[in-house]
Amino acid sequence: MGTEKVRKEVAHDLTAVDRRLTAIEIQRSELQMEEKELMREKARLETLADSYYYCRGELKITEHAILRYLERAKGVDMQLVIEEMLEGSVLQEHAQVVGSGLIPIRQGLTGRVIDNILVTVIRTD
């Protein structure tokens, strides 16, 4: 077999390998995007599953309703609660950097942030 023919075959094989590598990289990127979307959807569904705090028969009471009750009927100052949650916390700074994820609030508490929204607080002790 002549040298020129071998070079053409090697060049052809190299091109085929490069095409396959490119295809794999595209698939990897697509799978990473899909994984990110699925993780967001999972977190959203977990939050939704936890959004009903109490059920009695057909009546469901949401956490939002409970918060408004505490604020309006019991006089809990929600602004003070928010300030306490953020006092001494790096939550805001970390949320700006990572956007989504589990972020420590303080000893024993971690916040789940999705797209820069604190959606829940988890006890970690």
pLDDT digits (tens, 9 = 90+) for 83-123: 888 887 788 888 888 888 888 888 898 988 888 888 889 99
pLDDT digits (tens, 9 = 90+) for 46-64: 777 666 667 777 887 888 8
Q: For residue 71, is it within any domain? A: no
Rounded percentage of the chain residues whose pLDDT exceeds 90: 37
Q: For residue 17, is it within any domain? A: yes
Please provide residue 106's backbone torsions phi and psi, each rounded to the nearest 5 degrees.
-165, 180
Q: For residue 65, is it within any domain? A: no
The pLDDT score that the predictor gives to residue 92 is 83
Q: For residue 66, is it within any domain? A: no
Domain that holds residue 8: 1-48
Q: For residue 78, is it within any domain? A: no
Q: For residue 75, is it within any domain? A: no
Please provide residue 100's backbone torsions phi and psi, each rounded to the nearest 5 degrees.
-145, 145
Q: For residue 123, is it within any domain? A: yes
The pLDDT score that the predictor gives to residue 96 is 82
- Judging by beta carbons within 10 Å of its beta carbon (0-12, 13-18, 19+), is residue 120 exposed, middle or buried? middle
The pLDDT score that the predictor gives to residue 21 is 94
Parallel, antiparallel or unpaired: strands 109-114 and 101-106: antiparallel
The pLDDT score that the predictor gives to residue 51 is 63
Q: For residue 59, is it within any domain? A: no
Give the containing element (helix H, strand E) for 52.
strand 52-56
Number of domains in the chain: 2
Q: Token match 């019991």: residue? A: 74
Kindly report the pTM of this predicted structure: 0.51
